[in-house]
Amino acid sequence: MRTVRICQLNAPLAINAELTLDDDGFGHLIRVLRFKKDDEFVVFDGNGHEFEAVLLSDGKSATYKCTKEIVRNVESPIYVELGQVISRGDKMEFTIQKAVELGISEITPLYSSRCGVKLDEKRSSKKVEQWQKIAIAACEQCGRNVVPHVNDITNIDKWYEKSPEALSLTLDPKASIKLSEIEVKDKLRLLIGPEGGLDDSEISKASDNHFVGVTLGPRILRTETAALAALCILGSHFGDL
């Protein structure tokens, strides 16, 4: 029987601590999985702290007790921030879910000139909240105990200027350097453009901000395929895959 893992984001987990499940945890454990008093599961806080736990009550609110600390590190040795121009439909959700499984450290959704998705402030906030929940659920499934942060949606021009100390990469089918051939630092940023690609001014500004163009090979990949293929290469050559 598989171990049920529940994220209680930023909860003050400690040995013998008795805490109340948040709404998402309650919904999953009690309503969906039908857990009862004395059932056991694993709880983590999204910051690397993880414990075996037992359910103390299963009424309208549910309390649990941390019984044993689990000490382990399953994070990638390279810190990768994915700058992903927002894709249509459920492609963005798919990319976030799989990127988390592949060890991504941080995700920044981006607007670009050819981005096919435009959201007002209220809808943007709800989307980011939804994507963060997808990242949490992916961690519960894949065994990570550190939840990657999904940042607010950012214009690509502003994102270019962030974190100059990180190695910055963008996919370019015309590039002569393969992603597997670069010299990787501990921290890097990976830019994935929209379904229509970046426009000339965005490509130029990326170069002006020291982004290095790399190729994945001779074929043109869809935006959701490109992100995951790149993360697999990085994880295989420089990480822990």
Distance CA 168, CA 188 (A): 6
Distance CA 82, CA 19 (A): 34
Contacts of 143 (CB under 8 A, 6+ apart): 5, 74
Give the 3-state secondary structure of residue 122. helix
Amino acid 72 reads R
Distance CA 169, CA 130 (A): 27
- Rounded to 10 degrees, the C-alpha dihedral 32/23/10/38 comes to -50
Query: What predicted TM-score, i.e. pTM, was given to this entire model?
Result: 0.93
Q: How many CB atoms lie within 10 A of CB 222?
A: 11
Sequential pLDDT tens for the chain (241 residues): 678 999 999 999 999 999 999 999 999 999 999 999 999 999 999 999 999 999 999 888 899 999 999 999 999 999 999 999 999 889 999 999 999 999 999 999 999 988 878 888 888 999 999 999 999 999 999 999 999 999 999 999 999 988 677 899 998 888 889 999 998 878 999 999 998 888 888 988 998 999 999 999 888 899 999 999 999 999 999 989 8
**Alpha-carbon distances of 214 from 82, 151, 181, 211, rounded to whole Å:** 15, 25, 9, 9
Q: How many CB atoms lie within 10 A of CB 141?
A: 13
